[in-house]
Amino acid sequence: MSNCESCPTKDKCSSKENCMIENNPLNQVKKVIGVMSGKGGVGKSTVSVLLANQLRKQGYRVGILDADITGPSIPRLMHVENQRAEASEMGIFPVNTKNGMKVISLNLLMEDENQPVIWRGPLLAGVVKQFWTDVIWGDLDYLLIDMPPGTADIALTVMQSIPINGVVMVSVPQDLVSMIVAKAVNMARKMDIDVIGVVENMSYIQCPDCKTKIQMYDDDNTEEFLKDMNLDLIGELPMCKEIIDISKNGMETISDNLSSTLDDITKKVISKI
Ligand SMILES: Nc1ncnc2c1ncn2[C@@H]1O[C@H](COP(=O)(O)OP(=O)(O)OP(=O)(O)O)[C@@H](O)[C@H]1O
């Protein structure tokens, strides 16, 4: 039962007959944005949270679904790690952040966030599906999904069972990483999901005195990579302490400079989705 009326991808749907997506009639989510990377540790969760916060600042109703089941960092980055999601007969209620965003993560359903999830693929896939079908998101303008790293089982489940309007790829300027990100781009395209563009994270460091931008990677082939893959660069983020500190201070200590970069990135994402 796909319930096409409440499906965020209903305007571009070409597969009603063999659709595997179940939509919850209690939810009206306008757009779903996946944040993906292919390679672990490049800043996918960080970028998900930065984008979500910036969209919220612009006045949108925002949710964030942590599909990185085995390494869930969203609750800490959103400062809701001490709250617990509640379940009722109607479904699971996400937790709310101070600034009114909704969050779901497996860690918000576990008694102890330090316990590992030692489950096999099918069980993990079931949880990710439930985060779409059984969570009461209500009315949202944007739902961001922190995608599982890699291009294997769970990433595939997310792409098949959640109606994603587009994905933002997170990369760092290093040859090895772009090769792996290319795999994620090709995966999304094979699944008929739009790739909105690339956010290059840890793109440079900035000298605090003279403000010179210093590139850290010698083998930065970003331009070539974007051209070869027919991708747009939607923004570059520096490697900096204020980004590291969001798990400690939230977005409160984000400088005007970084805030304006994030503003440009979110505006580009919105315009392309
Ligand atoms: N621009 C940045 N500047 C400095 N540190 C950063 C930046 N982006 C991310 N980090 C740090 O890098 C680490 C990995 O970030 P994050 O957890 O967002 O990556 P990920 O791609 O989601 O990882 P995983 O594959 O484990 O899900 C974190 O400690 C984070 O604080």
Q: What is the pLDDT of residues 214-244, one digit of tens each?
A: 988 766 678 888 999 999 999 999 999 999 9
Poorest-confidence range of 66-70, 162-166, 214-218?
214-218
- 66 CB near ligand 1 (under 6 Å): no
The pLDDT of residue 169 is above 80:
yes
Structural contact between residues 202 and 169, judged by C-beta atoms closer than 8 angstroms: no
Shortest-distance Cα residue to atom 15 of ligand 1: 43
- 179 CB near ligand 1 (under 6 Å): no
Q: How far apart are CA 86 and CA 95, in angstroms?
A: 8
Phi, psi for 115 (deg, rounded to 5): -80, 135
Name the one residue in this structure whose structure tokens are 């900096």: 240
Atom of ligand 1 nearest to the CA of 149: 25
Q: Tell me whether residue 45 is annotated as binding.
A: yes
Structural contact between residues 205 and 239, judged by C-beta atoms closer than 8 angstroms: yes
Of residues 236, 223, 232, the one with CA closest to residue 265: 236
Tokens of 254: 């984000």
Q: Torsion-angle region of residue 148: left (phi > 0), alpha (psi -120 to 50) or beta?
A: beta
Tokens of 148: 């599982």
Which residues make beta-bridge pairs with 64?
A: 103, 144
Q: Tell me whether residue 129 is annotated as binding.
A: no
Q: What is the mean pLDDT of residues 20-41?
A: 90
Q: Is 21 helix (H, G, I), strand (E, B) or coil?
A: coil
Q: How far apart are CA 239 and CA 170, in angstroms?
A: 14
C-alpha 235, offset from chain centre: 15
Q: How far apart are CA 256 and CA 261, in angstroms?
A: 9
- Ligand 1 pocket test, pick from 35, 45, 46 with the greatest ligand atom count within 8 Å of Cβ, gives 46
| Ligand 1 centroid distance, CA of 46 (Å) | 6
Helix locations, the chain, DSSP H: 44-57, 74-77, 121-133, 153-161, 175-190, 222-229, 241-244, 246-249, 256-272
Confidence of residue 101 (pLDDT cuts 50, 70, 90): very high
Q: How far apart are CA 192 and CA 16, in angstroms?
A: 14
Q: How far apart are CA 170 and CA 172, in angstroms?
A: 7
Atom of ligand 1 nearest to the CA of 40: 25
Q: Which domains does the chain have, with CATH numbers?
A: 28-272 (3.40.50.300)
Q: Average pLDDT over the chain, rounded to whole?
A: 89
pLDDT at 177: 72
Structural contact between residues 61 and 52, judged by C-beta atoms closer than 8 angstroms: no
- 50 CB near ligand 1 (under 6 Å): no
The pLDDT of residue 145 is above 90:
yes
Instruction: Write b or e for each residue in 72-94: b if 16 or more Cβ atoms lie within 10 A of its Cβ, otherwise e.
Output: bbbbbbbbbbeeebeeeeebbbb
| Ligand 1 centroid distance, CA of 42 (Å) | 5
| Ligand 1 centroid distance, CA of 12 (Å) | 33
- 72 CB near ligand 1 (under 6 Å): no
Tokens of 156: 């595939």
Q: Tell me whether residue 250 is annotated as binding.
A: no
- 216 CB near ligand 1 (under 6 Å): no
pLDDT above 70: percentage of residues in the chain: 96
Q: How far apart are CA 141 and CA 64, in angstroms?
A: 11
State whether ipTM is beyond 0.95. yes
CA quadruple 58, 44, 247, 138: dihedral, nearest 10: 50
Atom of ligand 1 nearest to the CA of 239: 3
